[in-house]
Amino acid sequence: MMSKRRGGKDTKPEMGMAQRMTLKILSLYDSTTNVDAIIQELYHPDATFSDPLIEGKSEIDIANAKIIKLVRGREKVAAQFRVLPSFVAKSHAQLIRGSMAGVTILTIDSTVTYQLKPFPEYMGGSLRMFTVIELEDHKVISHTDHWDIRSVLENVPMLSFLYRNLRSGVGSVSSHVINVFLPETSTPAEAPVETREDSQES
């Protein structure tokens, strides 16, 4: 049921915390957003950030027995988003769907459209992004973006041409090098099986 303000104007029901947080996090990818205010409001002082391009200091993930590289610290996370307008003329993230797993994991599926400087608007691109947010005391303690680097490079003028040709060249060269240093092992020829007719003829 819709609630009403004084004066008879209808207002939408208040959005849940997860939905409000999702929309604010996606606004970080808008080149006109005041990212510092949002990071200060939503992120833990010890928050971490990582994506396919960003690597920070190496840390040991004991739970998963592996070494991970990420940016740690709320101010450093804010810096990663603050730099976007330096090379992006326009950008916007559109929510596809979001969901909560319990009270500590928020997943966000979105599409990010962007226009890189100094290219004209018609040379913009888009990518599908999957974001995993981990919460601690209702604050973002971990922010991890997953997207395909191929989708980015193929939408950037010049880079798309170089990327396609580089992949083709690397594929041909690597196959040749592998065949030189690791040639196919020839299987020994099997001895012919002597049949009863052959033995009778001999």
Which domains does the chain possess?
9-147 (3.10.450.50), 149-182 (no CATH)
Maximum CA pair distance of the chain? Answer: 113
Express each pLDDT in 118-162 by its tens digit: 877 777 788 899 999 999 999 999 999 998 766 666 655 555 555
Torsion of the alpha carbons at 90, 96, 102 and 104, rounded to the nearest 10: -10
- Check residue 65 and give its pLDDT: 46
C-alpha span between 105 and 61 (Å, rounded): 17
pTM for this entry: 0.65
Using CA atoms of 116, 118, 121, 122 in order, give the dihedral in degrees to the nearest 10: -90
Cβ–Cβ < 8 Å for 21, 42: yes
Q: How confident is the model at residue 163 (pLDDT cuts 50, 70, 90)?
A: very low
C-alpha 129/C-alpha 103 separation (Å) is 22
What does the pLDDT look like over 33-68, one tens digit per residue? 999 999 999 999 999 999 988 765 555 544 444 444
H or E stretch at 118? none
